Structure 1
Amino acid sequence: MPKSDRNPLVHGSNLEQKENHRTKYRDVGSKKYLSEIRAEYDKWHSANLELVGPTSTPTAQDEAIIATRVELLSKYKDFLDQQHYAEKFDSRSNLHSSVLEEFLYYLFKDLVRDFGENALIGKSHTFKDIFFVPPKYSEMLKRPYARIEKKDHDFVIGATIQVSFEAATPPEKDENPREVLPLLKEEPENYSEVTVTGNTETHIFDIPVVAIECKTYLDKTMLEGSSRAAEDLKARNPNSLYVVLMEWIKLTSNVNLRKYKVDQIYVLRQQKNTDREFRYEEKYVKNSINLVVVQHLFHKVRKHLKMDWTGGIEHGIERGWLIDE
């Protein structure tokens, strides 16, 4: 299977795109700000790469390592969140929102590495569903024309899967059919990406085991969307974990969290959301990123990756209850 060229350093990539953009960010002010951000980003990036851990094996140093990563994140976020940078690079540029996504890579990189070089980590277009779209029935008898529907996730830990499909003779039919059907040479224009060899088509896609959605803040509409995404994921991979991570929360006590399908919601600053322009008022107090919240997230993910997923009806019958708790 070919190695992926995905880059988990999404914030660094976003910054590089702005630095090299042919038309945008070419003015003196933008170049100055990008240069200042680059200097601080390189420090944050290097410090996180030099820091090792936590890994899949718990140690007495785990909490201190996480604390250092949170301290590095807080320092860089405080720098980047200054008003002049926020006004120059708004939310549509994804410069600020991508910081959390890259932080998750640093937080989990050494844990995931313990599971092998094929482990998937970072931003990904993952498997959502499969369906079949042959141009006509006669073509369906030659090959399946499978199409893979994908879903963008901010951060995943999982695996890349390569599968092959081919049309088969029904078992009750003669193994030596008299007629050999010719294969369609050209693909329909809107057919999903696939490698076709003879009557075999090969697809490559990512399967998340852990999916983390990163947001600046979370409101009810966003939560409903996250819940639908979590439900879709669990329908295809029941062993998956779906988490929402944000800095601020924009939910009221009238929201029934139990009806949503996400496994956990983490609020890094343990604070209600305030519109960005009010965050720069002198009287506004911005909470720091809470270390305990990040520690809880890390331990939840590590436990999930290391646990035994054996289950199902037969296993449940043995103990008397069918759904894991």
Structure 2
Amino acid sequence: MTKIQPSAPLRSPHGSLLRRKAKDNPTLASILGSYEKFSTAALSLVVSDKNSVFALVEAFNAYRNEAVYLFESGKNVPQENLRSTMLEELFSWLFKDLFAILQFDQPTNYWAGKATSSYLTLTFAPKNFQSLFEDPNPKISKKDQDFAIGATVAIKVMASKSDDSAPALTVILPVVAIECKTYLAKNHLDMCSATAQSLKRANPYCMYLIATEFLKMDSEVTPEVTDISEIFILCKAENAERKKRQSEGKPPHPMHADVVWELFSMVMGHLRAVWWDPASSLDRGKVIGRPF
């Protein structure tokens, strides 16, 4: 099969970490071949339709089936970071060909992958009234995101009478943010809810998703009243089932390709949509165009 280069810059947080740690860890080195087999299979795909998404998930499940128990075998060990980066890696591959789908050239400031500087707020804290006119002391708040699609933008704020030497701060303006969880518990949901609210206050056109492998919550939680756009349970199982399966020596739960496909379709629908364009509101019959 012809090797296809991804149209977007591919960041592989899991693979990069595994390769680095495998140099000094024979146990991790034993699984590296399985990862390389997965990444080769993923690179050969143009991920643009249901068949290709299902093929990607099948290849990822084959690797995950061999690796996940190994990464969960200890506490406070290097394997922990490897386990937590698996989903981040999957989404890097899942959206690698989005510009081929959208059919426009990839901008130079495009961002896809883990984001350590997603924009949240701009506030001012001048020392006193006198300093307000020379140094309004702008402060930009940022937030880490497990996976984000968006743009890097430079923000510069200065007093109108000052010179232009003030440094600009580069941040990521996400339009899709995905929180990746091995399992989702109520405390996780509360934190995600607060993050979603902050992100959407700064950027109303940011879709905020949670992708969790397993669920660990009771029926009393109310995610529907938050700013979270959707929660996807990729293994369609509770966390207790995951632990029981592992204790019985059974293979790990696979990720369900139909759920990944639904997530992919939801994101691509958002990226294709018209957002804020009042000039076309009469033609479209709606004004805001914000993601739910």
TM-score, normalized by the shorter chain, greater than 0.5: yes
Distance 1:103 1:228, change over 3 A: same
Deviations 1:60-85 (A, max 9, x none): xx111001100011111111123x44
Worse-superposed segment, 137-146 or 41-50? 137-146
Which amino acid in the other structure matches residue 102 of structure 1?
A: E
- Is the 2:274–2:289 Cα contact (8 Å) retained in structure 1? no
Matched residues, percent identical? 30
1:124 aligns with 2:118: no
Secondary structure, in 3 states, of the residue corresponding to 2:17?
helix
In the alignment, what sits opposite 1:209? 175
- Is the 2:275–2:289 Cα contact (8 Å) retained in structure 1? no
Q: What is the rounded CA distance, in whole Å, between the counterparts of 2:174 and 2:253 in structure 1?
A: 32
Aligned ranges 1:173-188 → 2 under 5 Å: none
Which amino acid in the other structure matches residue 116 of structure 1?
A: Q
Q: 1:78 aligns with which of 37, 45, 65?
A: 65
- Is the 2:71–2:82 Cα contact (8 Å) retained in structure 1? no
1:251 aligns with 2:217: yes
Which amino acid in the other structure matches residue 110 of structure 1?
A: D
Unaligned runs of 5+ in 1: 1-5, 21-25, 55-61, 170-182, 184-196
Which amino acid in the other structure matches residue 21 of structure 2?
A: K
Using the TM superposition, give the Cα deviation of residue 17 of structure 1 relative to its aligned residue in structure 2, in angstroms.
4.0
Distance 1:132 1:242, change over 3 A: same
Q: TM-score, normalised by structure 1?
A: 0.75
Task: Tell me the C-alpha RMSD between the 2 structures.
Answer: 3.0
Q: What is the rounded CA distance, in whole Å, between the counterparts of 1:81 and 1:163 in structure 2?
A: 41
Q: What is the rounded CA distance, in whole Å, between the counterparts of 2:22 and 2:194 in structure 1?
A: 36
Distance 1:147 1:321, change over 3 A: closer
- Is the 1:167–1:199 Cα contact (8 Å) retained in structure 2? no
1:305 aligns with 2:271: yes
Which amino acid in the other structure matches residue 164 of structure 1?
A: K
Secondary structure, in 3 states, of the residue corresponding to 1:274?
helix
- Is the 1:143–1:201 Cα contact (8 Å) retained in structure 2? no
Using the TM superposition, give the Cα deviation of residue 283 of structure 1 relative to its aligned residue in structure 2, in angstroms.
7.3
- Is the 1:142–1:199 Cα contact (8 Å) retained in structure 2? no
Aligned ranges 1:217-296 → 2 under 5 Å: 217-274=183-240, 278-282=244-248, 286-296=252-262
Distance 1:74 1:285, change over 3 A: closer
In the alignment, what sits opposite 1:163? 155
Using the TM superposition, give the Cα deviation of residue 47 of structure 1 relative to its aligned residue in structure 2, in angstroms.
1.7
Q: 2:38 aligns with which of 44, 49, 58?
A: 44
Q: 2:166 aligns with which of 190, 200, 211?
A: 200
Q: What is the rounded CA distance, in whole Å, between the counterparts of 1:9 and 1:202 in structure 2?
A: 28
Deviations 1:155-184 (A, max 9, x none): 000000012222114xxxxxxxxxxxxx8x
In the alignment, what sits opposite 1:64? 51
- Is the 1:89–1:95 Cα contact (8 Å) retained in structure 2? no
Q: 2:145 aligns with which of 153, 166, 174?
A: 153
Deviations 1:100-123 (A, max 9, x none): 101101000111465513321000
Deviations 1:22-75 (A, max 9, x none): xxxx5xxxx221211221111112221221221xxxxxxx11100110001111
Which amino acid in the other structure matches residue 153 of structure 1?
A: Q
Using the TM superposition, give the Cα deviation of residue 302 of structure 1 relative to its aligned residue in structure 2, in angstroms.
0.3
Q: TM-score, normalised by structure 2?
A: 0.83
In the alignment, what sits opposite 2:47? 53
Using the TM superposition, give the Cα deviation of residue 297 of structure 1 relative to its aligned residue in structure 2, in angstroms.
0.3
Secondary structure, in 3 states, of the residue corresponding to 1:95?
helix
Unaligned runs of 5+ in 2: 1-8
Which amino acid in the other structure matches residue 107 of structure 2?
A: E
Using the TM superposition, give the Cα deviation of residue 129 of structure 1 relative to its aligned residue in structure 2, in angstroms.
1.4
Secondary structure, in 3 states, of the residue corresponding to 1:253?
coil
Q: What is the rounded CA distance, in whole Å, between the counterparts of 1:89 and 1:65 in structure 2?
A: 35
1:87 aligns with 2:87: no
Q: Which has the larger radius of gyration?
A: 1
Q: What is the rounded CA distance, in whole Å, between the counterparts of 1:304 and 1:322 in structure 2?
A: 13
Distance 1:145 1:115, change over 3 A: farther
